[in-house]
Amino acid sequence: MFPFLISAKNLVLDILFPPICLNCQKHLETRTTPLCENCHSLIKINSTFFCPICRARLAENKKICHFDSPYLLAAAGNYDDPVLQNLIHSFKYRKMDFLTPLLGEIIIKYLNLIGGLNSNFIIVPIPLHFFREKSRGFNQAKLLGEIVARHFNLPIIDALKRTKNNDSQAKCKDSESRAKNVADCFKIKNSENIKGKNIILIDDVFTSGATMAEAAKILKQNGCRKIISLVLAKA
């Protein structure tokens, strides 16, 4: 499309559907971002790893408690952050995949604060079941994983397959029901792809940790080494 036609199209869109901030609904000067500057500045980004069991901050990015946990938790933000929660909900449940660059930017800022990622890691997204992904149109974990992989020049591998079309974890009432809901729901596609590797296991939200624990268990059983669970937000 010619540049003047694109400009005309954008002008018509701005008149008929003026761009508004996804969070506060105030008018935006441009469509290049879904948030106004104020709402963007309100997002609080963490600066440490966390224990996935007790959620303690790990200031030196190493275990100081719950040494039996098979992974460390890397959470860019907190789910009680209203702006970040709104973005994640829109991304995941309103199918707004155009939010991927903004959410990826939040993860990249966090990773840079904790020292970045070295070349010893591979990115493994938490998979959706085939029917769930087909209904949504995308796997949000994989979209985020692709952003991280490109930025740090790391390989991304679909190492896991979801074998059960179980209920959404959001529908489960407590930690016990969440653990039962995801029990034995993953299998490894090819163990040679992850054997001896350090894994960045990526998803959107960490709530009870049941999904991550189940995925980490099967990865460890198939020979992977270090696992870091990377999410946009922890509850």
Condensed to tens digits (0 to 9), the pLDDT of residues 98-142 reads 999 999 999 999 999 999 999 999 999 999 999 999 999 999 999
Give residue 14's pLDDT.
53
The residue with greater pLDDT, 88 or 181, is 88
Note whether 28 and 21 are within 8 A (CB): yes
- Residue 29 reports pLDDT greater than 90: no
Q: What pLDDT band is residue 11 in, cutting at 50, 70 and 90?
A: very low
Alpha-carbon distance values, 148 to 93, 108, 184, 204 (Å): 22, 7, 27, 13
Note whether 56 and 50 are within 8 A (CB): yes
- Residue 216 reports pLDDT greater than 80: yes
Give residue 5's pLDDT.
42
At position 182, the amino acid (one-letter code) is V
Question: Where do we find the tokens 């990377």?
Answer: 230
Task: Render pLDDT for 49-83 as a digit per residue (tens, 0 to 9).
Answer: 999 999 999 988 888 899 999 999 999 999 999 99
Q: Model pTM? A: 0.89
- Residue 34 reports pLDDT greater than 90: yes
Whole-number average pLDDT of the chain: 90
